[in-house]
Structure 1
């Protein structure tokens, strides 16, 4: 009798621990949660797909009741449009993140092939001294002020520009109304065209982010686009149509990643954007009640996925030192190198820093003109960017110690200003050791 009781107790303990883990680990919630998307919302999705020319697209319910894309798509741009429609009607949580199986032309296969083909012997033979190039975007207020609240992007960008110039970078900047979609895309194309393998590249972006979309890697490897000064349209009041317009008028992070995958001596990227469900909460929409219930009354939030810039997706996008030959140990009976640092080569440095983890907002003082203190300093801007570059000065440009201090400061500050209701935990990925990773 005692043994039976102990077995039951052990089983209950396992189940309780499993449920606790499921509720706390990001990405596991859908496995243990059943979604009941109302049929009228499914009908609205199908109608909106047809209205936007996606006549071969379809949707089905997955095993947990989420809406999953089915049917066929000409390319990943069509898939993106379909995800925008589904997410805007039923919400991010009720949308299955897995890509449809029938996509005729995949974006990264063609782009990776072009990138590798472009790395010719001519680029190897270039013996000119390497340059330091920085591309900085920062926006405080937006043309569509109805839907985009002010953020301290320009304040942050000016601090970044000063630090980059001090470190010897030639800075290309777009601030405020200069940072239109056309201007950002043109600048990205120009930097990509002129970048050489021996150069060092630094990219900084501080603005709003759009609703994140799934990637072909599936799971929670979501990516998001960058809101330009002229993104959006204040006259559109229908939520799916607004999101579709926003997708068209924002700058795809594909373009930033395309620049990041160019062969360089080193590449540094810092993204200080967030997506907040509060951004468009004022748009009237019949699905708002369902989405609110699914999120227990809270606005839906998600953020840039570090996984979309690293791991298998990272190397699949061709981010590698193109003038490096195949690993020397291949063909000699030794195991192939499998780590990301090995894939990139010992001479290639790559760093990606995001100001938040997924599902978090990038926080700053509530009043755009307010300042906050860090030691004896008075800083104006977002908590993470301002703290990171202040600590970077103290660390003489060394990234790791500056990041660790800024992350701890940001985490504590987020808890303080929100009275424990919000978190902000910045993330950092690098391919080289701490003693070599400096701005």
Structure 2
């Protein structure tokens, strides 16, 4: 390997098991159960065969509804992510195991204990993807109920992560347990933690969010940031902004990894890849799903509209208060105008507009072009790596591992073997300093 190759910036890869959202094509022969352990095992083993950093599971605390009907992808249920990852720890050796767990509807002692247990069982491969929730729809499943304002969500999450780290640090590196006490705005607890300091010291903390509050929270508390995939220029601006905030928390740019979530479609030629991508988008957005997507923007019942007809000529009516089982958008008027402009420009129906506006894949092309484009993003400082979301799960990742990973390795930008045993070592992150 030449000195020039050794100097190439290395990229990081992770795999996300899809289950929430419209990326999955359920009818694809490579799609499987969202409950059967064999599905999780297949995708995790494929990711480990591809030498990925970690495997990410999402969390759904309540099936989403629209007009009283459970969303198609939620109808089979959502298993607990940490439970699944504990089982995956037994059938994988090096792959990081990341659980998405809500900081709004969980408690620090319980969650810190479960994550520390996963880190022990996996010998240092655990991660926590911190998310928050503000909707009363989900809150109805919990004793407290209700919802938190946006600002309160982040202050609770920030204190939650701080307290979890206090709990993990309440055992010394040489195995001595010490009492803990925390008296804060959201939590007031004291006692003794039951799990010794884990192999990584602290499980890796992952955070997803593009808002100003989310970026500040990431700079203060996260090891990995999940974000949306966009243009190279937008990626560079996001990375510069978030990493530029680290100094205020006595952190260096190398203390944080930024990894956009991406999809991919491969073909033997560019034309074949584009054709496959278009077909996937059509299969992702059914006529009913197109109307549902429209209603999430307009905020009113549009079931009488023809999916193959024109967009509504009425203005959106944003709902007040927290959302009930629907995704919604931050600025429905702007989205509606954007969709109308797209429809007018290209003469698109409702379904065609939704397909074009919300169903695009991140990387479409030959394995060679996809490898080159990913490399270019990382080299330009627009990302540190990517979280791949395969369209069919669990079999959708196989093609990427078989056809793209070897090309990234040939370019000298991706590992050819695991050199460490913990997730922190895969990510190139420093071990946490014990705060005695």
Structure showing greater Rg:
1
TM-score between both structures, scaled by the size of structure 1: 0.28
**Higher relative contact order at CA 8 Å, sep ≥6: structure 1 or structure 2?**
2
TM-score by length of 2: 0.28
